[in-house]
Amino acid sequence: MKPRRPAIPRVTSPAPRAVTRAVSNRNGGELPFPVLLRTRHFIVIDKPPGLPAHAGRAGGPSVEDAFALMSRHRNGPWLAHRLDRDTSGCLLVALRKQALIAAQECFASGRTTKVYWAITHGHPTAGHGVVDAPLLRRAERGQWRMEITPDGQDARTAWRCLARGHMPDGSPASWLELRLETGRTHQARVHCAALGCPVMGDGQYGRADGKSLHLMSRELYLPLDPPIHAIAPPPAHMCLTARQAGWTLACPPAITPAVTRAHITEPPAAMALRDNAPTHAQHPGHDVPATTP
């Protein structure tokens, strides 16, 4: 039986605010994306959808293009983790190699908390649950995808349905909160598809619907000293779809964590998300109660 997590003292504080314009920095330039948090050792940016974290073999624009504007030190910056090109939201950049190592240790040990939001096709059969489904990368004819298979790497996602609704054409849609307990490639997308609720805009694991990918890294928390805690606002295309389904992707109040014990891994704002989930979702002609845990 797993030990219960210790309770975290909660103190109400203003919600973290993203800088929604280009951000002047110490090197005299301007970053081309919003900054959610900056410390001496890290920057958390709000990565726009469609921008790769790194250029890869094909080249082209990427987050790494702005590294010289963040720091010109020979010992950084470094991407501490990855987001898919079309996934928006919290992306952590370490400004020094020592900070990178500390962050990667948090990710590897499971002490990092990653909360995602997804808008999906369909309705889950329950209000909350856990997808525990190993993932393995398979390549065929020059293409690759992640598949659920017993011989894959452990992959675990805790999820809950924040709201159910219908799109203007009558098709069912859901707003899901995903807590990734592991960090496998395409984990959130494959596990949503396994629920029978593929992410809107995900033609690889769902169906081609002509939409942008409706998946974002909503919140990131690392219990470092000082702690790293950032919350990203939903991108415009997800807000539009939410309005069509009868929801408002509102920002709940943030909670300032008490970081006196290094083993605390619960992100306070994720607790606030649970406490402030919508009580109902409405669509013209429908009155559909949102599921609760």
Q: Catalytic residues, which ones?
A: 84
Rounded distance between C-alpha atoms, residue 291 and residue 235, angstroms:
24
Q: Which residues neighbour 129 within 8 Å (Cβ) at sequence distance 6 or greater? A: 158, 159, 160
* Distance from C-alpha of 27 to C-alpha of 69, rounded to nearest angstrom: 6
Nearest to 124 by CA among 161, 150, 99: 161
- Residue in this structure with the two tokens 């990565």, named with its chain if needed: 47
- Nearest of 198, 221, 214, 200 to residue 273 by alpha carbon: 221
**Residue 142: left (phi > 0), alpha (psi -120 to 50), or beta?**
left
The total number of residues shown for the chain amounts to 293
Specify the 3-state DSSP secondary structure of 266.
Answer: coil
Show the tokens assigned to 136.
């393995």
Interatomic CA distance for residues 101 and 159, integer angstroms: 29
Buried b (16+ CB within 10 A) or exposed e, 265-287: bebbbbebbeeebbeebbbeeee
Return all residues near 3 (Cβ < 8 A) that are at least 6 apart: none
Tell me whether the omega of the peptide bond preceding residue 77 falls within 30 degrees of 0, making it cis: yes
